[in-house]
Amino acid sequence: MVREGWKPNVYVHTALIDGLCKKGWTEKAFRLFLKLVRSDNYKPNVHTYTSMISGYCKEQKLNRAEMFLSRMKEQGLVPNTNTYTTLIDGHCKEGNFDRACELMDLMGKEGFAPNIYTYNAILDGLFKKGRVEEAHALLRDGLLHGLQVDTVTYTILITEHCKQVDTERAMAFVCKGVKVGLQPDIHLYSTLIAAFSKQKKMKESEKLFEEALRFGLVPTKETYTSMISGFCRDGNIGLALKFFNKMNDHGCVPDNITYGTLISALCKESRLEEACQLYETMMDKGLSPCEVSRLTIAYEYCKKGEAAIAMVILERLEKKLWMRTVNTLIRKLCSEKKVGIAALFFHKLLDKDRNVDRVTLTAFMTACYDNDKFALVSDLTERISKGIG
């Protein structure tokens, strides 16, 4: 444009600034904004300032966003509903609800009625911070003043009731939302499936899963993991494994939570060989097993008197994780009066590091005294005192 002799006006500048801010390149947008400020022909308008405010809110730079609000007022520009809503949303995401409410009141004083986007921003923030009663009070107040809820409001309400595992209310809001144009996406389906799965209502979860497929939605890793977790809670490991094996059909890669859920369920049913295979597959894929997975599988082998297998399983862990797991395992074995096996792991611990965890040592010694295993204490304290390890 410039090479052709055209001078980009304020609308061109604003479009570029808005795009840069959406991309997360706020400082580049600011340099362009300064060019506009210094221009003799064009000056930033309300939309330009709002774009900059939005950019800084996304970067959690609320002080700078507030500075732009003050600056635009100094220039004689009047912030509009979108300007205020953008700033309110930024403050809500940071948990600054007092300031968000101040801005909402300021809107009213300046003749701008908060719209559904304003309410959605505050509702979402309040729910995420656990301030449920305040959120409902705000919504009731809005409805009394003629507020018309939209699909975003329903999504917020559905998500909140799923978080509270109130599936009945969540589904009621889904029905209401659909009537006003709500088209649930896979993330909303996943949220609903997770809520039903937590209640072991797997028929409802399966129905939602199949419904999502019929609508052409592609299940995500989270969708599958929720289904697998639900079946594991319900004691239906067969269907859990079936869904696990189907993940690849939709390009979903299991993570350590997916594997961990199945490993724990298999251990609970004493299907240790299958659990061990999954554990090894997980390690081969470079995934780090969570502490519950590491501890559960090792403990189950110890319960069967196969401490050697438990040691081999844990051996693939990096030293820091190995130390943490073995310390926890020793304490768990001691609480179950399996002090002989605990002693084996304690000696293995000393082979790796002479620095003894005092909590683990106390738990071990107490268990030995309670179970008249004085020789085990003697052997261990002798090694520690000699500094062998």
pLDDT tens digits along 121-165: 999 988 888 888 888 898 898 888 888 888 889 999 999 999 988
Please report the pLDDT score of residue 182 as a whole number.
Answer: 85
* pLDDT above 50 for 180: yes
Q: Rounded to an integer, what distance in angstroms lies between the CA atom of residue 133 and that of residue 349?
A: 51
For the entire predicted model, the pTM comes to 0.75
Average pLDDT (164-174) is: 91
Average pLDDT (3-16) is: 90
Q: What mean pLDDT, rounded, does the chain reach?
A: 91
pLDDT digit string (tens) for 89-126? 999 988 888 899 899 888 888 888 888 999 999 999 88
Express as a percent the part of the chain with pLDDT over 90. 61
Please report the pLDDT score of residue 114 as a whole number.
Answer: 85
Long-range contacts of 368-372 (CB under 8 A, 24+ apart): 368/339, 368/343, 370/337, 371/337, 371/339
Please report the pLDDT score of residue 386 as a whole number.
Answer: 66
Highest mean pLDDT among 106-115, 224-233, 301-310: 224-233
Contacts of residue 355, Cβ cutoff 8 Å, sequence gap at least 6? none
pLDDT digit string (tens) for 278-300? 999 999 999 988 889 999 999 99
Please report the pLDDT score of residue 211 as a whole number.
Answer: 94
Residue 228 to residues 29, 105, 236, 259, Cα–Cα distance (Å)? 46, 47, 9, 10
Amino acid at site 333: L
Q: Are the beta carbons of 267 and 302 closer than 8 angstroms? A: no
Please report the pLDDT score of residue 387 as a whole number.
Answer: 59
Q: Rounded to an integer, what distance in angstroms lies between the CA atom of residue 245 and that of residue 332?
A: 33
Average pLDDT (176-198) is: 92
Please report the pLDDT score of residue 389 as a whole number.
Answer: 41
Average pLDDT (167-189) is: 91
Q: Are the beta carbons of 264 and 295 closer than 8 angstroms? A: no
Average pLDDT (157-181) is: 91
Q: Rounded to an integer, what distance in angstroms lies between the CA atom of residue 297 and that of residue 148?
A: 53
Contacts of residue 358, Cβ cutoff 8 Å, sequence gap at least 6? none
* pLDDT above 70 for 316: yes
Please report the pLDDT score of residue 311 as a whole number.
Answer: 93
Q: Which residue has the higher pLDDT, 207 or 115?
A: 207
Residue 222 to residues 20, 217, 257, 294, Cα–Cα distance (Å)? 31, 14, 10, 22
Residue 299 to residues 8, 46, 232, 304, Cα–Cα distance (Å)? 70, 64, 19, 9
pLDDT digit string (tens) for 327-344? 999 999 999 999 999 999
Q: Rounded to an integer, what distance in angstroms lies between the CA atom of residue 334 and that of residue 67?
A: 60
Please report the pLDDT score of residue 326 as a whole number.
Answer: 93
Please report the pLDDT score of residue 6 as a whole number.
Answer: 87
Average pLDDT (185-194) is: 94
Contacts of residue 164, Cβ cutoff 8 Å, sequence gap at least 6? 132
Q: Which of 208, 186, 184 lies closest to 196, judged by CA?
A: 208
* pLDDT above 80 for 222: yes
